[in-house]
Chains A and B, each alone.
Chain A
Amino acid sequence: MFKRLDEGTGEAGHATVQITVNDAVVACRQGDSVAAALFAQGISACRDTAVSQAPRGPFCMMGICYDCLVTIDGKPNQQACMTLARDGMAVRRQHGAREVPA
């Protein structure tokens, strides 16, 4: 779906960051948003909608469409495109609406 530009074409070396996506380890780069990390890994769907449980993924990449909502470190409804990937971050697909703990 997406790939990194090859080193030879001008991409500077960037530090590697490791996150997990649904428990699978994903290597990404310092400066990647969570949404960019998902795309680089070939993942285009990150949630199922609250209305019809249809799969959705990041769409606008600028924080306005709210289609990239995921659960990050146990916190639901996080915008994957507005959150920078940090080492050890646990990202999970969000199924439907967020659950509010009792």
Chain B
Amino acid sequence: MISMEQCDLLVVGAGPAGMAAATVAATLGVDTVLLDEQPGPGGQIYRSVTTTPVTNKRILGEDYWHGATLVEPLRQSGARYEPGATVWAVSQKTAADPSGFEVAYSVGGEARILQARQLLLATGAQERPVPVPGWTLPGVITAGAGQILLKSSGLVPSGRMVLAGCGPLLYLVAWQYLNAGARIDALLETTPSGRLAQAMPHAWGFLRSPYLAKGLRLMRAVKAGVRIARGVTALEARGDGQLDSVRYEAGGASHTLAADLLMLHQGVVPNVNLSRAMGMEHVWNERLDCWEPAVDAWGASSVPGAGIAGDGAGIAGALAAEHRGRLAALQVAHSLGRIDTARRDRGAAGPRQALARAVRGREFFDILYRAPKEFLRPAGDTIVCRCEEVTAGQVRETVKLGCTGPNQMKSFLRCGMGPCQGRFCGLTVSEIIADELGKHPREVGYYRLRFPTKPLTLGELASLPQTDESIGAVVRLKK
């Protein structure tokens, strides 16, 4: 068994940012460990890229297969990659030795501790919650979930299937399903009319984007192959214990579609649970309606020795993530004394240029696909917190009773206190409170997140290796 107790750099997450960062760091002589929750490398965007049963490359498309080019260099870099590993706590080592981190993680239900001089979070994004009536019904999943089922198991929808929401991923999933010959009954597009006009001032960047032609081809194929309803509002999943239909309004009329499967999507947001629990400073992104950690051009956060790369530091896409990972790794190698400033800056020139190219045109997409207010600030009986089954109406009523923020809201309603730890209600609860108080979400703030950032059992905790010091701290009687 390889010794996993100490390293120079711990990278959390083996998506594009994490793979690229670990590769560069290890290649520069930094003793690097890469921990990832999934059984194989790739993150969500390149999920199962080494094992997917979908071997016809035309189905998932060339952008997906680009992920495979990151895997081999990682394997040859000397970085110690451990799959199936969930990080659940990070602490600064000690007051006397503040340089470095003690990181607790679990593999197969057994907890371990790792000491790392530096830490790089590459924990990526998650889909934004889409709180609509009935979104907790079996048969309703996220579009990303549908795509994961395709990538990891070669599963495509059978029966009546509806895609609903907005964002590039929604169209990508539709395109991949069409390539696979799968059935899509309808795509319900929630982008409000007038958005294109708002986005147009930013079209110049988009027109120079290397992905323009590819994106247009994809959109054309989807428009030709799928029935699309535009300007959809009042989206609702219906059924008694199981999805049976989707109701929506469009063009001033109400429509109902029979459905066995509904896939929802309203874009992606940074996964902030680890970065917040570590106490990193976060800022509100006005255009993307979400929090993101404050980072510098090298991905360094407000916590010394801890950086973030990839979508976890702000949504910019898979290619950008890869380059941000490389930049962060160069900075780590520099701060550990492996390379001098000149070598760091020389190494950074390529990734910086590629990064600028990769994010060109994003403003256009961000504005065009910004989630409509009704999905950000739901009302009535719509469940907001899936774990504790708290509704939007309850949150609104509780604000009227005098509740001033999301942390107090936990005490009133338990929202955000279930196993998902606010991942699927945090943004919505902050938005609703802001709405009721007439404040900005920035003023309302977010849940205070604490370790463990993923639920764990007492048995798991008890399996942690004990030092003499920690045993001495709790054992009173000694022989």
Contacts and interface: CB of A to CB of B under 8 A. Distances in A.
Given A58-B141, A60-B144, A61-B141, A33 B152 contact: yes
B59 A66 contact: no
Contacts of A11: 53-56, 154
B423 A9 contact: no
A10 B389 contact: no
A67 B423 CA distance: 12
Given A10-B59, A60-B126, A2 B420 contact: no
Given A31-B53, A56-B136, A61-B141, A39 B149 contact: yes
Interface residues of A, number: 41
A60 B37 CA distance: 15
A5 B54 contact: yes
A59 B51 contact: no
Given A31-B48, A62-B44, A64-B420, A1 B152 contact: no
Contact of A64 (B54, B126, B149, B243): B126
A67 B424 CA distance: 11
Contact of B152 (A36, A44, A51, A66): A36
B157 A1 contact: yes
Given A44-B138, A59-B140, A60-B127, A2 B39 contact: no
Contact of A65 (B51, B86, B386): B386
A9 B59 contact: yes
A17 B152 CA distance: 15
Contacts of B389: 49, 51-52, 54
Contacts of A59: 136, 140-142, 145, 386
Interface in A32-70: 32-33, 36, 39-40, 44-45, 49, 51-52, 54-67, 69
Interface in B120-175: 126-127, 136-142, 144-145, 148-149, 152-159
Contacts of A62: 44, 126, 144-145, 148
B388 interface: yes
A82 interface: yes
A35 to B, nearest CB: 8
A55 B241 contact: yes
B331 interface: no
A2 B54 contact: no
Contact of A3 (B136, B140, B156): B156
B140 A2 contact: no
B138 A55 contact: yes
